Structure 1
Amino acid sequence: MGHLFTISVAVLAATGSFLFGYDSGVMTDVIESPNFLQYFNTTQTSAVVGAINSTFSGGAIIGSLQGGLTVDRFGRKATIQLGALICLVGATLQAAAQNLPMIFIGRILAGWAVGLISMSVPVYQAECAHPRSRGLIIGLAQQMIGIGFIVSTWVGYGSLHAPASSQFQWRFPIAFQVVPALVLGLGMFFLPESPRFLVETEQYPEALRVLRKLHFNGTNEAWIQAEYSEIRATIEAEKTLKAPGWMPMFTVPQWRTRLLHGVAIQAFTQMTGINVIGYYQTIMYKALGITGNRNTLVAGLYNCVGPLANLVFVVFLLDRVGRRRPLLFGTVAISIALVCEAALNSANPDGQRVGYSVGGVFFLFAVSVAFSMSFGPCSWVYMAEVMPMQIRGKGNAFAVGIGNWAVGTLWNQVSPLALGRIGWAFYFVFVAWNLCITLPVIYFFFQETKQKSLEEIDLLFGGRALGPLSDVSVEGMGPEARAEKEDMGSTMNVEKADLNRNNIKRIE
């Protein structure tokens, strides 16, 4: 019952990730609409199209950073619901747009909503998940992002069959955003709050009840009590350390290190080039000689391949093989596929060589598969895992806002212009970054976090708040506070040892 309920919670919360995917993907087909381009007097490779996508990413930066405040003050649920509400407003403005400013404002609001959701859903899922299945639970976020892309593509593909004179071609796909936003906003009323947030706000009986509902299987009551005790002990110790504002993330060495890990994994994900392909793949297919309905059809097939690969990976592999090895594999595999893609494009400048065009499509699909079995799910899982409770809200907000959305905003604005001017040579920007920066950083610095509790992951980074000699526990404290903290840490460590947590885990 517990595991099934946890999966149900994760799936419904991941509707936010579906919204993320749909909002991100919907413009792929909208900019393919002749009516849309004519209505707003623009072209696919214009700065206007780049601005439509970059304003979305810019709004997401604002939403992500704002989420760092709301998840800690009002909770994970309320933050997700706020994102759904803002999305409803943004979708309405876009669907009813009479001019470009309405499109831009609507895209900013939609991005704001997705920014809130993209940083809060992984936090919520990580704090509700069992350590043994956390990769699967958080990996569902990437799965639903992919499904959102699929639905946006096929809704757009069907809408493009309307007459070129009909605004239905682009208004309906944009308006469809309200469906997942309503499901998410209303559905969250029926889900529990994160047990860790409940402990942090001193709602102890409710926290234990939720933890039992999430993980009790009829025989593991001892594990439930041990998990609750460790969460409560850790958070109570951390309350003596938690400083207001954002600066402690950058001044406490251990927290700064963990923040850098979160920012790095999000930035490296963007530097794979996956979102450039996602947003502008129809332009890439035209360079391969694929035009008309065949173009959007191939885009629809592309958006199906990634989620299928992601599903296999998160269900069968992620919690077994860990995080580091898939990330190393993805870095190399994506780089090879992009080099092959560039080579085929350079040898087929007019798109008339069918074999080369098919090969070009194959390698774009290969990028999607490699990404979906590496950075796609691992970026959200690793980011959510490495953040300690003291900075989890603000840390995830900063990592998503800067590492994901700020970098994404840059590429959303630049990519249509670069594809129009330098074409296939643009791919080598991502290849160079992957091989020269991403690969060595992951290999030498990233930690393996699979199947560890969020509290145990503290040990991978040099200590935890419970430890009396932890660098975090004494940072910035006066002599009296430091002595009090050391006494607290010693007492809690004794209590924790008495629980014999490792034996309890084996019983489970």
Structure 2
Amino acid sequence: MTDFADLKNEAAGIEHRDVTLEDVLPKDAPPWYRDSRLLLLNFLLLVPMFSSTGIGYDGSMINGLQAQSQWQDFFNHPTGYTLGHISCGPTYGMFVGVVPAGYIADKWGRKAGITTGATTMIIASAIQAAAQNYGMFLAARIIIGAGAVIAIVPSPSLLSELSFPTHRAVMTTAYNVLWYGGAILAAWITYGTYWMGESNTWSWRIPSLLQAFFPLCQLAMVYWLPESPRFLIFNDRIDEARAILTYYHANGNENSALVDFELSEIIAALEMEKQHKDVSFKVLFAKENRRRAFIAMMVPFMQQMSGNGLVSYYLSLILNSIGITTSSEQLVINGGLCIYNLGCATILIGLVPRFGRRFMFLSCLGSMLVIFVIWTILSAINQQRNFEQKSLGQGVLAMIFLYDLAYNIGLMGLPYLYLTEVLPYYIRSHGMSLGQFTTASVGVYQAYVNPIAMDAISWKYYIVYCCIIAGEFAVVFFFFPETKGATLEESTEVFDKAVRGSGAPSRDPMDELEKAGGVGKE
């Protein structure tokens, strides 16, 4: 800790001691669900979680609209590049919003980013619902993407930085799991409006307008949401940070050892990080951060390029390829798949505190690879037999459900937790922005290549994803250090020690944590 940090601790009334998180956790505290202030905090943390829910709504809504004859007729049955533009519209917007997103979150706070993004999405949803032609609909979707990324970049960071220490892993993992909440609503709303009639444009305008629901919820609740204590301390507002931690983490106890520990640890880490005068994007690629920058790009790449893009935005094309062609059948499957995924992902959140990050990533990718190979084989046989055997089509459908289960193990909620752990505060927002830039770049590929490839070579295109998943497994095995068990500040040191050591990830997660000087409970 620097001398300046010592002075700050003294001014803040903190006695620095060589203790761990476990030492300062209250021994006689009631369960969190009986602590009114922790309950309130966890409820308010829905505000950043809704950033993910809104994106889930968008993906599922586009799937549902593609299965609606009313939407198809109004926009002249878009296919190929035309359909790709609509699916890719939010991606274009992400390119526009990704740079300011990081600066807004760092300069004006995590709450400012969420507020700006939510407001933009509300305006865009109204334009989308009022669209009179293809161009207006596409423009609205571009604006939606810009607003979404401005809200997304600070949201996981705020969750990780504000959550009660032992809740951090679960709460941050839950962030992206709520993607399915939005997806379920969109799936069943589009199914319900489908029955409004062949010529009624409100069948797609209503789902488009309701895309503003979650951003509206964010605006309604954000005033009461506390700011990130890390942001406040980084900007020399220690008293405000102490007040927030005391109120929510210590139930108002101004003499809490836990609050002293948290403040001391945060101040020490941030004062070290303040030695980096340059906090622009280029610092991400400095020698000490290159592994972090690589992971910040690789994690969202895995999220988007592991075959899930086919299911998320082109489920209709997949179902057509196995003989399930009616709109009502496709809409029911889309809705059922979303409910199934939410259940799986919610249950799997409980595994996060028990298993290492590497174990979950590798289990996820290994299972997905096996399932995708079987999926490919069944699709090939099904096509060769002209889709005459329903059992083969049902087998492919079963693989879709099994694939989603495997995906949820490591690529739904875990990535955002892992990124907040490997990215120190001073580059966290920019690292998240870099990740969203990667997501947008991959989105362009998927929007233009996936539908064309599916039309041209059908099941053979799955072979490409089998190879990609195998490569992702190798990357995680050789380049992803373990971070489980450390506090948010300790995880940075764990990461650095793993990289400075052998250059390879720790085979025993606890080894690196012990070297870091203590293990905190999750």
TM-score by length of 2: 0.85
SS in 2 for 1:165: coil
Match of 1:59 among 93, 96, 109: 93
- Asked if structure 1 preserves the Cα contact closer than 8 Å seen for 2:165 and 2:487, the reply is yes
Q: Which residue does the alignment assign to 2:376?
A: 342
- The question of whether the paired residues in 2 share the 8 Å contact of 1:142 and 1:310 is answered with no
Aligned to 1:122: 156
Take 2:377 and 2:488, find their aligned partners in 1: how far apart are those partners? 44
Structure 2, unaligned stretches of length 5 or more?
1-34, 499-516
**What SS class does the counterpart of residue 413 from structure 2 fall into?**
helix
CA distance in 2, matches of 1:248, 1:279: 35
The answer to whether 1:49 aligns with 2:83 is yes
Helix, strand or coil at the partner of 1:326: helix
Residues 137-183 of structure 1: CA deviation (Å, up to 9, x unaligned)? 11111221111111111111111112111112211111111111111
Equivalent positions of 1:342-361 (< 5 A) are 342-349=376-383, 350-361=386-397
Q: Any stretches of 5+ residues in structure 1 without a counterpart?
A: 465-500
**Which residue of the partner structure matches residue 84 of structure 1?**
118
Give the match for residue 412 of structure 2.
376
Between the aligned partners of 1:426 and 1:290, the Cα distance in structure 2 is: 19
User: Which amino acid in structure 2 is aligned with residue 388 of structure 1?
Assistant: P
Does residue 190 of the first structure (1) align with residue 228 of the second (2)? no
For the Cα contact (< 8 Å) 1:128–1:214, is it kept in 2?
Answer: no
2:293 partner letter: L
Q: Any conservation in 2 of the 1:59–1:111 contact (CA below 8 Å)?
A: yes
Is 1:35 matched with 2:74? no
Which residue of 412, 419, 436 corresponds with 2:454?
Answer: 419
8 Å CA contact 2:57, 2:183 repeated in 1? yes
The equivalent of 1:410 in structure 2 is 445
Residue 387 of structure 1: which of 423, 439, 442 is its match?
Answer: 423
Q: CA deviation at 1:461?
A: 2.9
Residue 456 (structure 1) aligned with residue 490 (structure 2) = yes
Correspondence for 2:178: 144
Report the aligned-residue RMSD.
Answer: 2.1
The residue number in structure 2 matching 1:279 is 313
Query: Aligned AA for 1:395?
Result: G
Q: CA deviation at 1:66?
A: 2.0
1:389-430 deviations in Å (ceiling 9; x for gaps)? 12111111112222x221122112221111111111111111
Is the Cα contact below 8 Å between 1:20 and 1:117 reproduced in 2?
A: no
Residue 39 of structure 2 corresponds to 4
Moved more, 4-13 or 192-201: 4-13
2:450 matches 1:401: no
Identical positions, percent:
26
Q: Superposed, which structure 2 residues align to 1:305-324 within 5 Å?
A: 305-314=340-349, 316-324=350-358
How is 1:184-263 mapped onto 2 (pairs within 5 angstroms)? Answer: 184-216=218-250, 221-251=256-286, 253-263=287-297
2:475 pairs with one of 421, 424, 441: 441
Select between 335-344 and 59-68 the one with higher mean Cα deviation. 59-68
Taking the aligned partners of 2:407 and 2:203, their CA distance within structure 1 comes to 30
Q: Does 1:155 align with 2:189?
A: yes
Separation in 2 of the partners of 1:351 and 1:90? Answer: 41
SS in 1 for 2:199: coil
SS, match of residue 373 in structure 1:
helix
Q: Distance in 2 between matches of 1:244 and 1:375?
A: 28
Q: Say whether residues 1:20 and 2:55 are aligned partners.
A: yes
The change in CA–CA distance for 1:61 and 1:451 in structure 2 (over 3 A counts) is farther
Q: 1:199 offset after TM fit, Å?
A: 0.6
- Greater CA deviation, 373-382 or 132-141? 132-141
Structure 2 CA distance for aligned equivalents of residues 333 and 141 of structure 1: 23
C-alpha distance in 1, partners of 2:231/2:100?
18
Tell me if structure 1 keeps the 8 A contact 2:423–2:431.
yes
Cα distance per residue 1:346-403 (max 9 Å; x no partner): 111233311111111110111111111111111111112111112111111112222x
Distance 1:245 1:202 in 2: 20
Once residues 338 and 121 of structure 2 are traced to their aligned partners in structure 1, the CA distance between those partners, rounded to angstroms, is 23
The residue number in structure 2 matching 1:489 is none
Deviations 1:229-271 (A, max 9, x none): 11122212322323142211112x2222212112111111111
Shifted more, 282-291 versus 2-11: the winner is 2-11
Match for residue 270 of structure 1 among 304, 316, 333: 304
Is 1:364 matched with 2:400?
yes
> For the Cα contact (< 8 Å) 1:131–1:453, is it kept in 2?
yes
